[in-house]
Amino acid sequence: MLTIDALPYAYEFPLGRTALIVIDMQRDFLEPGGFGAALGNDVRRLAPSIAPTRALLDAFRARGLPIIHTQEAHRPDLSDCPPSKLERGRGSLTIGDVGPMGRILVSGEPGAAIIPELAPLPGEIVIEKPGKGAFHATPLRERLTELGVTHLLFAGVTTEVCVQTTMREANDRGYECLLVEDATDSYFPEFKAATLAMIRAQGGIVGWTASSAAVLAALPPLP
């Protein structure tokens, strides 16, 4: 077992059974003209998480470790989008509307794509999800079972919505979860801070948190 210097205490993980999950690092959330901006958010607040996430991707790729990317995206007819989800937000654009990067959060549209800096490589798993959590109505659990994964490291956006939801889903399914603090961001910094505190409260009720530097330091050196 390897050990990461984490909160609320050290996180132990078996290298061969650990995967990196990168949540929704999509143009619609991180770039001007996307869904995040249409809701009135300052998308620049998500930018700091890009470099740490790329460092994690590079490290996992170099060691041949499992990587899973998720994308929040819907069918073109929106048949997989709950009406309640369509009705909320009430920004200048909503899911399915045509924006500067194509139809908002629709599969195959430019805005639904993962940003170029973090684009998946061939062979990396990409899970399209209709909900906020990546386990709902997706094959994520089956893919993790096929890989023999028991431990999950999380990066992505936004901290308090899709990242936290997926982490809580994973926790309920028995996975040991760690959120990489600087590889996640929110449009609301206070929401990120609260989420990190909630995750590691009460002895790690949902899991652990640690910096990307601590994660990288815990990985074995390359040959």
Check: CB of residue 57 under 8 Å from CB of residue 67: yes
The question of whether 24 is a catalytic residue gets the answer yes
141, 142, 145, 150 alpha-carbon torsion, rounded to 10° = -10
Helices and strands (H, E) in the chain, number of each type:
8, 10
Give me the half-sphere count of Cα atoms (radius 13 Å) on the Cβ side of residue 167. Answer: 31
Farthest-apart Cα atoms in the chain, separation: 53
The question of whether 129 is a catalytic residue gets the answer yes
* Rounded-to-integer distance, Cα 212 and Cα 88, Å: 34
* Rounded-to-integer distance, Cα 82 and Cα 211, Å: 35
Check: CB of residue 81 under 8 Å from CB of residue 130: yes
Of 24, 28, 182, 185, catalytic: 24
Of 28, 81, 129, 192, catalytic: 129
Of 28, 81, 132, 162, catalytic: 162
**Catalytic positions, please?**
24, 129, 162
